[in-house]
Structure 1
Amino acid sequence: MNKPPARLSIYFNVHLVSDSTGETLNAIQRAACAQFQNVQPLEHNYYLVRSERQLERVMREIEAAPGVVWYTISDENLRSKLEAFCRERGVSTLPVLDASVAMLGRHLGVSANRVVAGQHALDDDYFDRMEAINFTLAHDDGQNVDGLRNADVILLGVSRTSKTPTSVYLANRKVKAGNIPLVPGVPLPAFVEELGPRGPLIVGLKISAERLVQIRRQRLISLQEDEHTIYADEAAVRDEVTQANRLFQRNRWKTIDVSRRSVEETAAAILNLLNERNAQS
């Protein structure tokens, strides 16, 4: 019997806008997308959005790559601006906590306080998490590389291997994570290869060339750019991946294949590596 043709994956942009850590948004978005077969969300994450200037950057990103917007923002002024902006452009939005807060308010007979990040108690655990998040945001995508000596984890990988969302996820687990992109022709900071066993845990994020070409082409399409560039050229990507893998192997760094892993799965594997390392020390 002839098998029905395989259904092509559907790619779409998902913008997650939060005035807190984005943990709630990420969990709900992934749970929702898991209910659809062959659906691949292209995540755009914006955390700690608490000013109009930050929101303006978010709105520019949404305009450049339209899709759907899920948000948790308590400030009424920022909420109104985001909703009006999206409504004018026909972009679907969902304030993911509103229905739950409204239902609880009706049940309790009281009004919600609309406290930013109200789910986080101001204890040592909270401040440790905020410290990790601030560190991660300051050391994202190759920024402030010298400060990475104080990281718990350094992630290395070519473009589009989910370095940033994985770093932020780890930060929500109180792990100071930084990441450095591996760019063809750009040498890795020399000190990284000199870090000893007592330095940060270095993890290489591996990915198959075929999967990477697919992700990059979809990314270019979402940005309305030419998908037939060297950035997504199959031969160039294959060489880029090969060079990254050789770097990982030469330094005997731990690696994780993210070709078919979710960010949560990648982060969980890294947390396991950290736990193993701590148990041996």
Structure 2
Amino acid sequence: MWIAVDIYALLTLVVVFSWRVYECPMSEKNPNISIYFHVHLVSDSTGETLVGLMKASTAQFRNATALEHIHALVRSEAQMEQALDLIGSKPGVVLYTVVNPDRRKRLESFCAEHRIPAISVLDPTLALLGRYLGASIISEVGAQRNLDAEYYNRIEALDYAMAHDDGQNVQGLSEADIVLLGVSRTSKTPTCIYLANRGYKAGNIPLVPGAPLPIILDQFKNPFIIGLVASPDRIVQIRQQRLMGLKQTQQTDYIDQDRVRDEMRQAKRMFLKKGYKVIDVTRKSIEETAAQIINLYKAHHDTL
């Protein structure tokens, strides 16, 4: 909670700062004007923590758009100086996770000297945990990414998701943790990839009009099967965009409103008949869908 409060307060200051830097006199008359500002993410690891936190924070500012500058794997003085040169030329705000004390001090001194807002995003959480646990931190770069069993499990899950995507190797789905069913464009593949990154072995089977589900699916005991549905209008829109990307403009049953509505109706009937859990992905991001799937999966296994 401390991180969120600190980041939001800091970004508020950055937006104000940006108005002054870019001299936007219309901003006072038009509160809907877009504000662009620089955000430098400095890390001696991959920078993924900073990217996720920055996106979550800036999403709270409707008209603010961050211009990201990612300085990852900064593990030498030369790399730090290179990052500082860019920060100095494009000032805005600096979010950092730097373990090395000398490089961290150099970054903090530079930002203080040039009056550039900067914050070490993990400090409040580390301080809280340290007080609670009565322990000191190990100060290890990328400690959360050690090549442990969990890491290799995620890699295995990713391989599994790719090998069992879009109805491939249906018999192998008997070893899955989660199996997703849905008509075309219900985000089955990206959701499986996201679940794999969380360590779940997930595969998916598309529902094709006129084609029955593989009979073997009824024999599976281990996989938790979930049906994905969405608004027919939304499915048509996504399919049209896909065809445009493929430079196919002719009208087909694939994007016919009535046919798509019938596809979705049949899918829902089948899910109900089979007793599968159903998730409507119409207004959900991949992350939100995956989080709901994980909650259902855990609740299901708690009852076994």
Residue type at the aligned position of 2:80: R
Distance 1:31 1:227, change over 3 A: farther
Distance 1:33 1:233, change over 3 A: farther
Distance 1:28 1:166, change over 3 A: farther
Structure 1 residue 267 corresponds to structure 2 residue 290: yes
**In the alignment, what sits opposite 2:121?**
none
Q: CA deviation at 1:205?
A: 0.2
Structure 1: distance between partners of 2:300 and 2:69: 38
Q: CA deviation at 1:243?
A: 1.1
**In the alignment, what sits opposite 2:252?**
229
Deviates more, 1:246-255 or 1:220-229: 220-229
**In the alignment, what sits opposite 2:123?**
none
Structure scoring higher RCO (CA < 8 A, sep ≥ 6) equals 1
Q: CA deviation at 1:223?
A: 2.1
Structure 1 residue 129 corresponds to structure 2 residue 154: yes
Query: TM-score, length-normalised on structure 2?
Result: 0.56
Q: CA deviation at 1:122?
A: 1.1
Q: CA deviation at 1:177?
A: 0.3
Unmatched runs of 5 consecutive residues or more in structure 1: 1-22, 38-93, 111-116
Moved over 3 A (4+): 26-37, 100-105, 107-110, 117-120
Q: CA deviation at 1:272?
A: 0.3
Structure 2: distance between partners of 1:258 and 1:211: 10
Distance 1:208 1:125, change over 3 A: same
Residue type at the aligned position of 1:127: Y
Distance 1:30 1:150, change over 3 A: farther
Structure 2: distance between partners of 1:177 and 1:218: 26
Structure 2 residue matching 1:242: 3-state secondary structure = helix
User: More helix per residue: 1 or 2?
Assistant: 2
Q: Deviations over 1:79-102 (max 9, x none)?
A: xxxxxxxxxxxxxxx9x8853345
> Which residue among 163, 170, 174 is the counterpart of 1:138?
163
Structure 2 residue matching 1:203: 3-state secondary structure = strand
Q: Aligned Cα RMSD in Å?
A: 3.2
**In the alignment, what sits opposite 2:212?**
187
Residue type at the aligned position of 1:268: A
**In the alignment, what sits opposite 1:100?**
72
Answer yes or no: is the 8 Å Cα contact 1:120–1:126 preserved in 2. Answer: yes
Give the number of the structure whose alpha-carbon radius of gyration is greater. 2
> Which residue among 198, 201, 224 is the counterpart of 1:173?
198
Q: Deviations over 1:10-51 (max 9, x none)?
A: xxxxxxxxxxxxx88x959976995898xxxxxxxxxxxxxx
Q: CA deviation at 1:123?
A: 0.8
Answer yes or no: is the 8 Å Cα contact 1:256–1:266 preserved in 2. Answer: yes
Structure 1 residue 205 corresponds to structure 2 residue 218: no
Distance 1:227 1:100, change over 3 A: farther
Distance 1:221 1:199, change over 3 A: same
Q: CA deviation at 1:232?
A: 0.7
**In the alignment, what sits opposite 1:220?**
243
